[in-house]
Amino acid sequence: MKRLLLSIPVLIGVSILVFSIVRFIPGDPARAIAGVHASPQHIEQVRRELLLDEGLHVQYYVYMSNLFQGDLGQSTFSRRPVATELRERFPNTVRLSVAAMVVATAVGMTAGIISATRRYSIFDYSSMVGALIGVAAPVFWLGVMFQLLFAVQLGWLPSGGMGTFRHLILPALTLGLATAALIARITRSSMLDVLRQDYITTARSKGLIERVVTYKHALKNALIPVVTVMGLQFGTLLGGAVLVETVFSWPGIGRLMVDSILARDYPVVQGAVLLLAVTFVLINLLVDVIYAFLDPRISYGTREVE
């Protein structure tokens, strides 16, 4: 609950920053918002609508009250409301990010657990080297390499666009790999930590088979840092989505934002940035709630009762 209250000033700050994007651009904000090819009359109209001749606090008040009515302005490029554009694109970004997180969790945790239980095996070495490369490889390059291999040379999967499930595989894999690498490293070290604990030795000495010890006793406690990292990684994932969406022509928010920056379509840029930041803040909030749920002290208490 306290965290919920703390995120309110953050959201206000984010809105101020997004509001100022246009005001910071050298030159006339009205021209920036009306678009490069706007007529003098149109620019004058925008100037009046935004109250640009009034003080900044008045402008911000107008911006915010429009925002709460769902009015994010109008694209200077397509002339459509920004809110509509965002509503069309946002589900695609969510689908891509969630799919990438699923890939990252499945690949990362599997590799991490196997590495920890077979420490110093060939699998352990190769997966940890793979993880090092996965973190260092630029996500857009990985995407292009996957396109080259799976679309151009093997012809197994489409190289871009959206539609069927097959279109989702390469982008999700690309976006998920770096996070998978990180999750693998964290899972491995966290599992190794837990496996050294006294209660694991106790469980073993009770004669429990190794698999039960690994999955029932160790994994549950090893997961806490993993969940934290997953939450923190969602931001990196959203940032990476901007790049991956560009590589695979995926019609999401990130690509919309980049296209709008290049086209100087500032109302859309503001909307997209605001949406991505708010999403990120809300995800972090959710992670905190989940984390409180998994809190080591709480689970420690229940274990003693068992």
Partner 1 sequence: MRDLELTGKTEPLRRETELRQVMVHLRRNRAAMAGLVVLAIFLFCAVFAPLLTPYDPTGTDLSRALEKPSGEHLLGTDELGRDVFARILYGSRISLAIGLISVAIGMLIGVPLGAISGYYGGKFDLFMQRIIDILIAFPGILLAIVIVAILGTGVGNVMIAVGIASIPIYTRLVRGSVLSVKEEGYVAAAKALGLGDLRIIVRHIMPNCMGPIIVQSTFQIATAILWAAGLGFLGLGAQPPDPEWGAMLSKGRHYIRVAHHLTTYPGLAILLLVLGFNLLGDGLRDALDPKSRNSR
Least CB distance to partner 1 at residue 119 (A): 15
Least CB distance to partner 1 at residue 247 (A): 8
User: What is the token pair recorded at 138?
Assistant: 């630029």
Looking at 60, 90, 140, 150, which residue binds partner 1 (CB under 8 A)?
140
Question: Is the Cβ–Cβ distance between 44 and 32 less than 8 Å?
Answer: no
Looking at 43, 208, 224, 281, which residue binds partner 1 (CB under 8 A)?
281
Of 152 and 292, which CB lies nearer to partner 1 in the complex structure? 152
User: What is the token pair recorded at 236?
Assistant: 């990196």
> Segment near partner 1 (CB under 8 A), from 3-11, 51-59, 116-124, 296-304?
3-11
Chain positions 58 to 87 lying near partner 1, rule: CB under 8 A, are: none
250 touches partner 1 (CB under 8 A): no
- Closest to 22 (Cα-Cα) out of 303, 283, 270, 285: 270
List beta partners, residue 74. Answer: 81
Least CB distance to partner 1 at residue 215 (A): 27
Distance CA 106, CA 150 (A): 21
Chain positions 6 to 25 lying near partner 1, rule: CB under 8 A, are: 6, 9-11, 13-14, 17, 21, 24-25
229 touches partner 1 (CB under 8 A): no
Long-range contacts of 276-281 (CB under 8 A, 24+ apart): 276/238, 277/14, 277/18, 278/11, 278/14, 279/238, 280/234, 280/235, 280/238, 281/7, 281/10, 281/11, 281/14
Helical spans, DSSP H, in 25-147: 29-34, 40-49, 56-68, 82-117, 122-136, 139-146
Looking at 30, 82, 276, 287, which residue binds partner 1 (CB under 8 A)?
276
Q: Is 81 helix (H, G, I), strand (E, B) or coil?
A: strand
208 touches partner 1 (CB under 8 A): no
What is the contact surface with partner 1 in residues (CB under 8 A)? 6, 9-11, 13-14, 17, 21, 24-25, 132-133, 135-142, 144-145, 147-148, 152, 234-240, 242-243, 246-247, 257-258, 261-262, 269, 273, 276-277, 280-281
